[in-house]
Amino acid sequence: SSPVSPSHRLISSSALSGAVCIPVFLPLTVLFLICVSQSAEASVLQWPPCLPSADQLWDPLAPTLLLAWIVLHALLYLLPLGKVLNVYKMSTWFWSVTAVLLSVLLALGAPLGYLCELLVPLAVSAVAVSFLSSIYLYVRSFWAPSDALALGGDTGNPLYDFFIGRELNPRIGNFDLKYFCELRPGLIGWVVINLGMLMKEAELRGSPSLSMILVNCFQLLYVADALWNEEAVLTTMDIVHDGFGFMLVFGDLAWVPFTYSLQASFLVAHPQSLSSLTAAAIVALNDTGYYIFRKSNSQKNQFRRDPTHPSVSGLETIATATGKRLLVSGWWGLVRHPNYLGDLLMALAWSLPCGFSHLLPYFYVVYFTVLLVHREARDERQCRAKYGLAWDAYCRRVPYRIFPYIY
């Protein structure tokens, strides 16, 4: 007789091999990319590939700083301040606390530029914390009731379930682990690493370059926007559908801070000169991307919260069998994912200050295009299953997915 429970689903061999290879391949990719960004050649195509030597991997200061950083954010999250939505703590105020703390540290002369030397051991520590946290999440999921498990995260295959995550929203009391990790230590850590690179450049060359200032400002705007609009993260696929396993833990704690900061890390060792005119054009591109990203996300969020609100009540919609309506005019009538379009324009603007001499600063644009195209296909499948014929009607009415007249 088969020991497979009825809730267990069959997984393809390609999905299983992905779940086995990715936890090895992605951490190595992070170390490789940091190493390339700091090497003189900065070539991603160099053979043999650039990897840190064994003695570069470890510095006892790195895990100490990382754990202190995570604990600081957990304590700030636990403070009884800020609005609570369901069990989620909205704490925009806490962004200002972090900013004040950082300013005090800088005023006291904290050598933030030293983060540049610590990048590799910090990334190794973040990978170790990701593995340990994912093991904890996997084990504790066996005590969770079956309705707390993510669809698709309970296949019965330990490797796959460890990777995808069994439990949907693991919590310790009211402390939601997924929501905490998605928006706090990694995302804010990314901004701090950028700032460290800016300080390092100032130490080396007397002042930060225009390229470095642009990269820091663009990415700070992106992170501040995410924290300012933190309610919106509650409706993303990651929070609503995906289990909290290695993929998301590693994505939040290691991938985001250490690969999203590659442009800043590249600029420390590879200074670029930028004319004011080029800088102005890049700022215009980033602002256009941000405008599309913010307006389209806010339009959908407002419509989902209150379709009778004056800012969205005049928009054309189609009805679906679920009772929910779909927007077919405004931003969501331009393409089916206007928010991805804005995000991709910003991604390009973050790379352009690094010039055209190297591929590495464009890693983020390439990775992000692949991620969003894959995500769009996944969302499309879920929406078709949810809305059926109404979704097909929406697709006929708005034929392009991300880029008008192209894709």
Ligand X SMILES: CC(C)=CCC[C@@H](C)[C@H]1CC=C2C3=C(CC[C@@]21C)[C@@]1(C)CC[C@H](O)C(C)(C)[C@@H]1CC3
Residue 304 interface partner, choices ligand NDP, ligand X, none, CB cut-off 5-8 Å depending on type? ligand NDP
Binding mask 312-331 for ligand NDP (x = CB under 6 A): ------------x-xx----
- Which residue number, 177 or 247, has a Cβ lying nearer to ligand X? 247
Q: Could you list the residues that contact ligand X (CB under 6 A)?
A: 26, 182-183, 187, 225-226, 233, 236, 238, 247, 250-252, 255-256
Residue 182 interface partner, choices ligand X, ligand NDP, none, CB cut-off 5-8 Å depending on type? ligand X
Cα dihedral 229, 233, 234, 238 in deg (nearest 10): 180
- Which residue number, 187 or 390, has a Cβ lying nearer to ligand X? 187
- Which residue number, 205 or 378, has a Cβ lying nearer to ligand X? 378
- Which residue number, 202 or 226, has a Cβ lying nearer to ligand NDP? 226
- Which residue number, 200 or 300, has a Cβ lying nearer to ligand NDP? 300
CB of 128 to ligand X, least distance (A): 16
CB of 281 to ligand NDP, least distance (A): 23
CB of 293 to ligand NDP, least distance (A): 6
Applying CB under 6 A, among 300, 353, 358, 390 the residue interacting with ligand NDP is: 300
- Which residue number, 88 or 332, has a Cβ lying nearer to ligand NDP? 332
The three-state (H, E, C) secondary structure of the chain, written as one string:
CCCCCCCCCCCCHHHHHHHHHHHHHHHHHHHHHHHHHHCCCCCCCCCCCCCCCHHHCCCCHHHHHHHHHHHHHHHHHHCCCCEEECCEEECCHHHHHHHHHHHHHHHCCCCHHHHHHHHHHHHHHHHHHHHHHHHHHHHHHHHCCHHHECCCCCCCCHHHHHHHCCECCCEECCEEHHHHHHHCHHHHHHHHHHHHHHHHHHHHHCCCCHHHHHHHHHHHHHHHHHHHCHHHHHHCHHHHCCCCCHHHHHHHHHHHHHHCCHHHHHHHHCCCCCCHHHHHHHHHHHHHHHHHHHHHHHHHHHHHHCCCCHHHHCCCEEECCCCCEEECCHHHHCCCCHHHHHHHHHHHHHHHHHCCCCCHHHHHHHHHHHHHHHHHHHHHHHHHHHHCHHHHHHHHHCCCCCCCCCC
The C-alpha atoms of residue 141 and residue 164 are separated, in whole angstroms, by 12
The C-alpha atoms of residue 125 and residue 244 are separated, in whole angstroms, by 20
Q: Of the listed pieces 66-74, 80-88, 160-168, 336-344, which binds ligand NDP according to CB under 6 A?
A: 336-344
Does the footprint of ligand NDP cover residue 178 (CB under 6 A)? no
Q: Is 94 exposed, middle or buried (0-12, 13-18, 19+ CB in 10 A)?
A: buried
Does the footprint of ligand NDP cover residue 117 (CB under 6 A)? no
Residue 26 interface partner, choices ligand X, ligand NDP, none, CB cut-off 5-8 Å depending on type? ligand X
Contacts (CB under 6 A) with ligand NDP, residues 217-256: 236-237
Question: Two tokens at 59?
Answer: 């510095």
Does the footprint of ligand NDP cover residue 270 (CB under 6 A)? no
Contact indicator for 288, 345 with CB cutoff of 8 Å = yes
User: By Cβ distance, which residue is nearest to ligand X?
Assistant: 251
CB of 350 to ligand X, least distance (A): 13
Residue 226 interface partner, choices ligand NDP, ligand X, none, CB cut-off 5-8 Å depending on type? ligand X
Contact indicator for 373, 400 with CB cutoff of 8 Å = no
CB of 145 to ligand X, least distance (A): 26
Applying CB under 6 A, among 30, 129, 343, 390 the residue interacting with ligand NDP is: 343
Does the footprint of ligand NDP cover residue 379 (CB under 6 A)? yes
The C-alpha atoms of residue 40 and residue 123 are separated, in whole angstroms, by 20
Residue 251 interface partner, choices ligand X, ligand NDP, none, CB cut-off 5-8 Å depending on type? ligand X
- Which residue number, 88 or 340, has a Cβ lying nearer to ligand NDP? 340
- Which residue number, 155 or 296, has a Cβ lying nearer to ligand NDP? 296
CB of 327 to ligand NDP, least distance (A): 4
- Which residue number, 322 or 357, has a Cβ lying nearer to ligand NDP? 322
Q: Which residue matches tokens 């992106």? A: 222
List residues binding ligand NDP (CB under 6 A).
Answer: 236-237, 293, 297, 300, 303-304, 324, 326-327, 332, 337, 339-340, 343, 375, 379, 382-383, 394
